[in-house]
Amino acid sequence: MCKIFIFRISIFFAIVFVSQGLFAQEYQKVEAESGEGIYSLLRRFNLDPKDYYNTFLEINKNRLNPDLQLLKGKTYFLPIVVDTTALETERQSGVFPIFGKKYEKVEFKDDKLQGAVFYIISGHGGPDPGAMGKKNGHTLCEDEYAYDVCLRLARNLIEHSATVYIITQDPDDGIRDEEYLKCDKDEMCLGNKKIPLNAVERLKQKVETVNQLFEKHLGQYQRKLEIHVDSRYSNQKVDIYFYYHPGSNKGKQLGETLLKTIHDKYKQHQPNRGYKGTVTERKLYTLKNTKPVSTYIELGNINHPRDLERLIIVDNRQAIANWLTLGLIKDFENSKRR
């Protein structure tokens, strides 16, 4: 997976697809700054010179002058191995088939999320559809609606220059502008891995996949979002709410930033509606065991008729993705000031 650095001449954006392997590799390229030496360049990217100096010399032996001095603006290899199996696209636009034919072309708008890494997990999938509801004779499956919001969110983030890993993937769904999303069981885990039938193994698979990727982006802003749909009695209406792992201050801050963004948007567009979402701590396996700062999002109650409007109306699913995107941009900006 290609990291994104301010100092590169060509900035790339990457997203990993289910049909691709995970570990094809090349070295990251960066530009030297004015007056920078090898030691200071390595430290700029959180690499200890005593561990990486010799490797740097080896991989840059054809780029260094006899005095081993770095030249401002010249490109050098970092001793960081990155994935080349990700689709890389030029800055103006790119084609990402995972979003489906209608939405596969993505225009890059700005650099607001340059350097940010996101792991997007839609709840359940594969043999487990998650919560299920009924409307007008149609069966509604949690994993399908959560996945559609996840794809819309991922696409938004890429528009703002983020690096995005979609952990749960469906090879043929894409973003769907339909009210009733067909339930299926062909979702896979990133890396073309079959999702296990056993619930505990499913959770472990997601955690291991995220944690393995986390190590490739040490020193960067990394956030994991897991999106679900709740299932309660039909008379229990719930607003979008958030969980974070106990003791995770950054997880709490992330949830609160997203919550406030949604609150402000409801106030702007539906001032008489009110919004009663919450941010609370909860001991969940994926929150506890994944390394990135994480939030667990519940979109609503799949059995409540008003909550269903939040899910089945296409514009509402897009609005949720848009508002979450705004919240993530704010959290990323806040992280630079902390």
Number of structural domains, the chain?
2
Tens digit of pLDDT for each residue in 149-196? Answer: 999 999 999 999 999 999 999 988 999 999 999 999 999 999 889 999
CA separation for the pair 310, 133 (Å, rounded): 14
My answer on whether 313 and 217 are in the same domain is yes
CA separation for the pair 158, 98 (Å, rounded): 13
How confident is the model at residue 34, as a pLDDT? 82
Tell me if the pTM is above 0.85. Answer: no
Residue 71 has pLDDT above 80, yes or no: yes
Q: How confident is the model at residue 63 (pLDDT cuts 50, 70, 90)?
A: confident
Q: Could you tell me if residue 327 is inside a domain?
A: yes
Q: Could you tell me if residue 4 is inside a domain?
A: no
Residue 235 has pLDDT above 80, yes or no: no
Residue 276 is classified by DSSP as -
My answer on whether 34 and 122 are in the same domain is no
Residue 58 has pLDDT above 60, yes or no: yes
Q: Could you tell me if residue 12 is inside a domain?
A: no
Q: How confident is the model at residue 206 (pLDDT cuts 50, 70, 90)?
A: very high
Average confidence (pLDDT) over 260-274: 91
My answer on whether 186 and 232 are in the same domain is yes
Q: What's the mean pLDDT when you consider all of the chain?
A: 85
Comparing C-alpha atoms, which of 44, 43, 39 is closest to residue 68?
Answer: 39
φ, ψ for residue 331 (rounded to 5)? Answer: -65, -40
My answer on whether 219 and 315 are in the same domain is yes
Q: Go through 163-175 and write b for each residue having 16 or more CB atoms within 10 A of its CB, e for each that does not.
A: bbbbbbbbeebbb
Lowest-confidence range among 73-87, 88-102, 302-316? 73-87
Comparing C-alpha atoms, which of 122, 231, 225 is closest to residue 173?
Answer: 122
Q: The domain that contains 52 carries what CATH number?
A: 3.10.350
CA separation for the pair 134, 150 (Å, rounded): 22
Lowest-confidence range among 168-172, 199-203, 235-239, 295-299? 235-239
Contacts of 282 (CB under 8 A, 6+ apart): 243, 244, 245, 246, 296
Q: The domain that contains 281 carries what CATH number?
A: 3.40.630.40
Average confidence (pLDDT) over 307-315: 89
Average confidence (pLDDT) over 318-337: 96
Q: Could you tell me if residue 20 is inside a domain?
A: no
Tens digit of pLDDT for each residue in 32-41? Answer: 888 788 988 8
How confident is the model at residue 92, as a pLDDT? 59
Final residue of a structural domain among 83, 105, 132 = 83
Q: How confident is the model at residue 21 (pLDDT cuts 50, 70, 90)?
A: very low
| Residue ranges making up the domain that contains 66 | 25-83
Final residue of a structural domain among 56, 83, 110 = 83
Q: Could you tell me if residue 10 is inside a domain?
A: no
My answer on whether 39 and 142 are in the same domain is no
Final residue of a structural domain among 33, 57, 83 = 83
My answer on whether 181 and 278 are in the same domain is yes
Contact assessment for residue 253 and residue 294, using Cβ atoms and an 8 Å cutoff: no
Comparing C-alpha atoms, which of 123, 129, 131, 119 is closest to residue 190?
Answer: 119
